[in-house]
């Protein structure tokens, strides 16, 4: 991983980007952030916890000519594993077999991961480098989620260069179908419980003898 950046956010904030920030009026705020240490460059406990909950990520690469490509990767919670403070990895499942990401990484190791949590309206951007490992069946077995019906082909190991968490502005709040089903099931159970209580109370009222004058 290229560690030549004096400030971690320079991985994204090129001189051209900074010039635009100055022209648009946001450079001062980002300069203050840089003076306070810039972006995180290692996987913190908070980031590890966030990653462990994700079931969907967007994985970006670019070919030797700089043409970008974004690929979706999904799986059960925990399908992305933390190897250490600088590396995460996941089993790359068989898909449409175009192998664009694999070809891009062979020519250009620069990569990027975008994670978004619609429920809590959080997003995390991770810059770094990635490599493909095709000859380590034991590592592939370790990374394969238990009971998940997919065919793993290779491993993607991603080395973190820097990461940043964005504000929730403009993130729509959405819920996954299993989470909605749980809430609806709990509501139906509560309704049934209340209906039973009402029926019991009605039964007590009917059985009680009328008051005498």
Per-residue pLDDT 10s for the chain (213 aa) are 555 788 999 999 999 999 999 999 999 999 998 998 889 999 999 999 999 999 999 999 999 999 999 999 999 999 999 999 999 999 999 888 899 999 999 999 999 999 988 877 889 999 999 999 999 999 999 999 999 999 999 999 999 999 999 777 766 666 666 777 777 788 888 888 888 888 888 877 776 666 665
Identify any residues that bridge with 59 across adjacent strands, giving them in sequence order: 71, 113
Please tell me the predicted confidence (pLDDT) of residue 209. Answer: 66
169/122 Cα distance (integer angstroms):
9
What contacts 125, CB < 8 A, 6 or more positions away? Answer: 112, 113, 114, 163, 164, 165, 166
Please tell me the predicted confidence (pLDDT) of residue 212. Answer: 62
Please tell me the predicted confidence (pLDDT) of residue 185. Answer: 80
Please tell me the predicted confidence (pLDDT) of residue 201. Answer: 85
Return the exposure string of 90-126: e unless at least 16 CB atoms fall within 10 Å of the residue's CB, then b: bbbbeeeeeeebbebbeebbbbbbebbbeeebebbbb
How crowded is residue 157: how many other Cβ atoms within 10 Å of its Cβ?
A: 18
Output the CA–CA distances (angstroms, integers) from residue 195 to 181, 182, 185, 206, in the order listed. 21, 20, 15, 16
Please tell me the predicted confidence (pLDDT) of residue 90. Answer: 97
The kind and range of the H/E element at 189 are: helix 177-207
Please tell me the predicted confidence (pLDDT) of residue 139. Answer: 95
Tokens representing 135 are: 């000859």
Please tell me the predicted confidence (pLDDT) of residue 134. Answer: 95
Please tell me the predicted confidence (pLDDT) of residue 115. Answer: 95
């Amino acid at each position: 991983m290229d560690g030549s950046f004096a400030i971690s956010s320079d991985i994204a904030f090129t001189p051209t980007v900074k010039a635009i920030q100055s022209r648009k009026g946001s450079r001062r705020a980002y300069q203050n952030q840089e003076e306070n240490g810039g972006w995180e460059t290692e996987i913190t406990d908070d980031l590890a916890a966030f990653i462990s909950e994700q079931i969907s990520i967007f994985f970006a690469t670019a070919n030797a000519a700089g043409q970008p490509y974004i690929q979706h990767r999904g799986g059960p919670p925990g399908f992305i594993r933390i190897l250490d403070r600088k590396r995460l990895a996941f089993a790359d499942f068989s898909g449409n077999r175009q192998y664009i990401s694999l070809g891009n990484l062979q020519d250009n190791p620069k990569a990027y991961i975008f994670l978004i949590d619609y429920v809590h309206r959080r997003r995390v951007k991770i810059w770094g480098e990635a490599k493909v490992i095709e000859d380590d069946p034991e590592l592939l077995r370790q990374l394969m989620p238990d009971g998940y019906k997919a065919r793993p082909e290779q491993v993607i190991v991603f080395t973190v260069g820097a990461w940043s968490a964005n504000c929730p502005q403009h993130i729509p709040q959405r819920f996954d179908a299993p989470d909605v089903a749980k809430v609806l099931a709990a509501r139906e159970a509560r309704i049934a419980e209340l209906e039973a209580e009402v029926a019991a109370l009605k039964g007590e009222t009917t059985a009680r003898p009328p008051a005498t004058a």
